[in-house]
Each structure stands twice: as structure tokens, then as C-alpha cells.
């Protein structure tokens, strides 16, 4: 492990979310605290209400205080949210994910899909790829317009949805994807599109990606149509390394890849922008199992590890990279033992027991 030292505090904003959010967020903070103790890192947390809790007490699911305070933090941990259950925007029902991504310019959604060592993937072939998803435009109605919604109804029997693709957003997500590829052994990028139908939008996207590809001659570059990509992921995911695509395609394909890797419950995710990053589980709030103590917290815990890696790059503090690696190692070592798995992984232990195993793995880890 690194011998670099730093006395600075790591201050994280915590947004617990809805459904299973508070449960897996509590597990994440417990593991982060254990990592901080193990590596002599001063990690502090401050929680702010969001989602249904904020709606009840403040009349909005996304209070302005979050944006007023976020600059004073090194990063954000966001639990899953139940935006499908929120009232209309006019009644305070804002989508926290969309608002954070748009207002903090979190343009890059990095979603690794990795089958852990010692875990047999449910569909036969191990997965090791990263989906780099554009996060601020596309078909998502809450972030495609300067004013108003990207969805509207000209008549009671007609709904229209606007898809926004810009050269600026496509260029910077392509840059992020090639930079990720340069850090991986295979150095390969696959751009996923539907330019055979969406000729203007995906044509612009591909034109932007191709321009960036020329600046990375050491990276192999290819293109796949999205429906073929969905099939190829099932047939042989090992042929892919880094996948770059637009918002909706990235959302769908990353869930598919993570489930093929083992479980969506293990799917880590980081939303990053120029000045801040938000660790967020790839999955939703799972209200059907909320409060039962059976959720797998690995996704949010792994996302917190990605946040520490992001901070390590910005600070040049090797201990933060060590902390991220320790989290990944702890998750893999616990999952490798069948008796220590949650239900989504074929086991029968709950959130609290799984978290205890992770904390113990952190404490027992040998440098």
C-alpha cells in the first residue's frame, strides 16, 4: 500500500434517499468508517434530507440547501430514490438524480460491471467492462430543456418526447471514455448508437466520438448498434472493455451488464463533473423490500470506493486509492464465501450481517 500521508479531512455529504436507501447508506457509512480507522483517514459525514423525507418537511424532494452547501464537501453519497412515487414537479416532486446531474454538471456516469473473483456468474461467462454514460441530456425529459419539460402533450391522445444531443456533451463523454480505457489493460472503446434510425442525433454523437478517437491512437475503437449490442452482451461480454453511449442506452445496457456480471446489487456507479462527484448505487430504491433488512449494500459501498478513487486523483493522496482498493477487496473476499452472500447472490444473510462481514474483512486485511 501507499506510504503517502495527508492530514486533511474527507468531508462527505450524505443523502440517504428512499426505500432501501437509508439501510444501504447506513451500511456504506459503517464500512467507510472502518476503512478510515484502518488507514488513518479522517472521514466525516453530514446528512441532509432528500426525497420523501424532504418532501414531508420542506415541501420539495430536493431542497435548495443541498446545492448551497455542496461546495463545502469533498463528495456526495446518494442513496436510491423513489422518484416514481413523487408528486408532480409543481407539487415539489423533483427527481433528485436528474437535479443533481443537471445542476452540478455531473456529465459522466461511470458504471463498471465486474464479476468478482470466486463468484460464478449466473449466465456462465464472467464480465469485466465499464459503461461510460452521458448523464446530462438525451431522452431524459428533466434535463433536455433550458426551460420546461422535454415531454409534452399537444393533445390528450398524443405525447411527444424531445431527445437532446449536443457536440459538447458528446465530446466530453467520449473524452472521459477514452481516458478510462487508457487506464485499463485492453484499451478498447465501443461506441453504442442507433444512427441507422436516429441519423441526426446519433450521427452527431458518433462524429464527436470519432474525433476524440483520433487523439487516442493506442486505444482500439469500434462501433455497435444498440440492439446488436444488447444481444452481444449476452452472447459474449468478454469482447467488450469500455462502452461509451448516450444517456438512455447507457442506463439500460449498464443494468444488463451488471446483472450478467452477477447482480445489480453489486453494481457500483459514479456521477462525476468538473468540480464534484456523487456516489450512487446503480439500482433503484426497491420499495418492495424496504425495511426488511435484506438488501445487498454492495452497490452503494462500491460506489463510495469509486468516489475515493476520484478524490485520490484530485488530491494525489495514495491512501485514498488504497482505501478504494480495500473496499473492492473486502467486497470480493466476502462474496467469495457462499455463506456470506445476500439473497440476490444466492445466499440468505441480510444487510446487517453482510455489512459485519465487510467490516471484519477490512479490519483483518493485511497490507
The residues carrying an active-site annotation are 140, 194, 227, 251, 255
DSSP state of 116: P
Instruction: Enumerate the H helices of the chain as residue ranges.
Output: 21-39, 52-58, 64-69, 96-103, 167-182, 199-213, 226-235, 247-261, 298-315, 318-335, 351-364
- Rounded CA gap, 19 and 124, in Å? 32
Q: How far apart are CA 48 and CA 58, in angstroms?
A: 12
* Residue 240 · residue 223 · CB < 8 Å: no
Strand 10-15 vs strand 43-47: parallel, antiparallel, or unpaired?
A: parallel
Contacts of 180 by beta carbon, 8 Å cutoff, 6+ apart: 110, 130, 132, 242
Rounded Cα distance between 253 and 274, Å, is 25
C-alpha cell read off for 347: 445466499
Q: How far apart are CA 30 and CA 13, in angstroms?
A: 15
Q: For residue 105, count other CB atoms closer than 10 A to its CB.
A: 16
Asked if residue 255 lies in contact with residue 264, where contact means CB atoms within 8 angstroms, the answer is: yes
Spell out the long-range contacts of 311-318 with Cβ–Cβ below 8 A and sequence spacing 24 or more. Answer: 311/10, 311/74, 311/75, 311/277, 315/6, 315/8, 316/4, 317/4, 317/6, 317/8, 318/1, 318/2, 318/3, 318/4
Cβ–Cβ < 8 Å for 141, 162: yes
| Of 280, 271, 274, 276, nearest in space to 301 by CA | 280
Query: CA-CA distances (angstroms) from residue 341 to 20, 96, 338?
Result: 18, 30, 6
Closest to 359 measured CA to CA, from 26, 7, 4: 26
Amino acid at each position: 500500500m501507499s506510504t503517502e500521508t495527508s492530514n486533511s479531512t474527507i468531508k462527505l455529504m450524505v443523502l440517504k434517499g428512499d426505500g432501501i436507501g437509508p439501510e444501504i447508506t447506513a451500511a456504506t457509512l459503517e464500512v467507510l468508517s472502518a476503512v478510515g480507522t484502518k488507514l488513518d483517514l479522517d472521514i466525516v459525514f453530514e446528512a441532509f434530507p432528500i426525497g420523501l423525507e424532504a418532501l414531508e418537511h420542506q415541501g420539495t424532494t430536493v431542497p435548495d440547501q443541498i446545492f448551497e452547501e455542496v461546495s463545502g464537501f469533498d463528495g456526495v453519497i446518494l442513496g436510491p430514490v423513489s422518484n416514481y412515487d413523487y408528486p408532480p414537479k409543481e407539487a415539489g416532486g423533483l427527481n433528485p438524480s436528474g437535479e443533481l446531474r443537471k445542476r452540478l454538471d455531473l456529465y459522466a456516469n461511470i458504471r463498471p460491471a465486474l464479476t468478482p473473483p470466486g463468484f460464478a456468474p449466473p449466465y456462465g461467462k464472467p464480465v469485466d467492462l465499464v459503461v461510460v454514460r452521458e448523464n446530462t441530456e438525451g431522452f431524459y425529459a428533466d434535463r433536455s430543456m433550458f426551460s420546461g419539460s422535454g415531454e409534452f402533450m399537444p393533445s390528450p391522445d398524443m405525447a411527444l418526447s424531445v431527445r437532446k444531443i449536443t457536440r459538447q456533451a458528446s465530446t466530453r463523454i467520449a473524452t472521459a471514455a477514452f481516458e478510462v480505457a487508457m487506464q485499463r489493460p485492453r484499451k478498447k472503446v465501443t461506441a453504442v448508437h442507433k444512427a441507422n434510425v436516429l441519423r441526426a442525433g446519433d450521427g452527431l454523437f458518433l462524429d464527436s466520438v470519432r474525433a476524440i478517437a483520433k487523439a487516442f491512437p493506442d486505444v482500439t475503437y469500434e462501433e455497435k448498434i444498440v440492439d446488436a449490442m444488447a444481444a452481444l452482451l449476452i452472447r459474449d461480454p468478454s469482447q467488450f472493455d469500455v462502452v461509451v453511449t448516450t444517456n438512455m442506452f447507457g442506463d439500460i445496457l449498464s443494468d444488463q451488464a451488471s446483472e450478467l456480471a452477477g447482480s445489480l446489487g453489486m453494481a457500483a456507479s459514479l456521477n462525476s463533473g468538473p468540480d464534484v462527484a456523487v456516489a450512487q448505487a446503480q439500482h433503484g430504491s426497491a420499495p418492495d423490500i424496504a425495511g426488511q433488512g435484506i438488501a445487498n449494500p454492495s452497490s452503494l459501498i462500491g460506489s463510495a470506493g469509486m468516489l475515493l478513487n476520484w478524490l485520490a486523483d484530485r488530491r494525489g493522496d495514495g491512501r485514498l486509492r488504497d482505501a478504494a482498493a480495500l473496499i473492492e477487496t473486502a467486497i470480493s473476499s466476502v462474496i467469495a464465501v457462499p455463506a456470506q452472500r445476500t439473497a440476490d447472490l444466492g445466499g440468505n444473510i441480510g444487510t446487517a450481517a453482510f455489512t459485519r462481514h465487510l467490516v471484519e474483512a477490512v479490519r483483518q486485511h493485511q497490507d
